[in-house]
Structure 1
Amino acid sequence: MSSHSAPPHLGARVPGQAVIEELLALQGKVPPRSTLQRILGVSPLSAESSPWYRGALGELVVGEILENLGPEWLVLHAVPVGAGSSDIDHVLIGPAGVFTINTKNHSGQSVWVAGRTLMVAGRKTRHLYNAAHEAARASKLLTAAAGLPVKVTAVVVIVEPKTLTIKARPEQAVVVTDAQLARWLRRSSPVLAWAELARISGVAVQPGTWHKRPAAQNDPQLLQQNFDALRHLVVQARRRRAAWALGVPAVTLLALMNGASLGAAILHRLAGH
């Protein structure tokens, strides 16, 4: 049986689906780890796939938060948009309005926001601009499909930052952490009548509303299973590295017994992914 199918609507997609597809495609090119690499806890991720893995984790965190908002909210994940491979991380539709949510996994990093600037660890990003462009695009597409004006609010969700400093109100998008997201949404005032909500939701779930040439989709559940299997290997490797780090004297002894070159190679591996 093929793993590709055309879902009846976009609600069948899982959080991070587009990112997971790219991640697994990249991982398919990575040679299997050797026995020694597995013992030492070398990460199964390559330098190319690591950022995609972090991105997938971020989208899964935010996706779970959105799924728990309640039945009055429609949540769509990894919505293919345009004519190419672009997607919107999450589209959220409820009494408080329509939102496009751009997830950024900057765990452990300091984030600073003011006006049109969002910096991560002191470096400027395009997060606000990209989020605003995404919302404007969604507004245009939903307005055309629903036949009524659809305002869309751009939201950037920063996942598990070390700090989030809002020095001045961002001009192009709302910026919140994953811990603040649900509370902020629930406190938002209702702006859509039920008739409007139903009409917008009805067109939002249709792939043709967003993409000029909707393609057959990978099986979302199979993708999720494959990602979970990879995640298990990554976590297992991290735990083994931690165990080795606690046993550094044993590595030193191994170096003396087997030669400095092997000891150096092991220490190099421990310092890697």
Structure 2
Amino acid sequence: MADVWNLTCRPRWRRALRPFVRVSADARGLHVRTLLRRQSVPWGDIAELRVHQRPARTCWTRTPRRVSLIPHCTRERLLPLPRSRSSDDPAFDAEVEALRALHRRHAATGPSKVSAVSYGTPRRGWAGVLVLCPVLLVLAAMAAGSVSGTASDERAWKSATACTARTPAAERRECLTTTPAVISRTEDGRSARQPSWLYFTDGRPLVRAEVSRDAALEFQAGDRVELTFWRGQVMKVVGKSYAWHENVATAGTAAVFAAAFVLAAC
């Protein structure tokens, strides 16, 4: 790798990402380019290029590896590329070694300046803005368009009453149906991205219901609860010492999102 002068790392498993994320290196330093910004770090500012390997959660999952940049004066940061989904990836190892070879060659003679975030030339910067603004305006329009539908759902939920024996089958989705159940086990998500679940004995009246993490921690296996259904969805789980209620989106929330997207676009 002693003769490596330039290197460009591109995504290998997602072709759609190629125009948006790219890492390259040359005699001047390491360059990271994304859709909206560019950043260049001189070799003299880099203390080390380190490989991070996240442990697999199970014996069937792979151990992803990424490269982090260790500067002399600022905090560590992960590079978007190169990356690998396996602990045995010759192509990934070759790219890492090529980056390290460039670092060894130019670190001693490279400039030692504070790494700066560059948004490119004014023309390129405006191009990114022109791409982002329409996207934000579309999101604002979608949020604004959902206000009336959200308000209608909110009113329907607040006015819903319990189903009776005389309620026609076609109208039972709009009324409240209450059913007893027994919790067989709970599963709480470890982070905000992971859902939490209540599982029910014998899969009755359903196999599981998604709830908040607090509810999954409060309920216990063997608890007898009462489920309230509305429009085919579990809206309430009421036990002896704890009750969970589904959060119903309000028109005010949708309007706030629409305004936020418009402000961001401006």
TM-score of the pair, normalised by structure 2: 0.26
Higher-strand-fraction structure: 2
Higher-helix-fraction structure: 1
Instruction: Look at both structures and tell me which one has the larger radius of gyration over its CA atoms.
Output: 2
- Larger RCO (alpha carbons 8 Å, 6+ apart): 1
TM-score of the pair, normalised by structure 1: 0.25
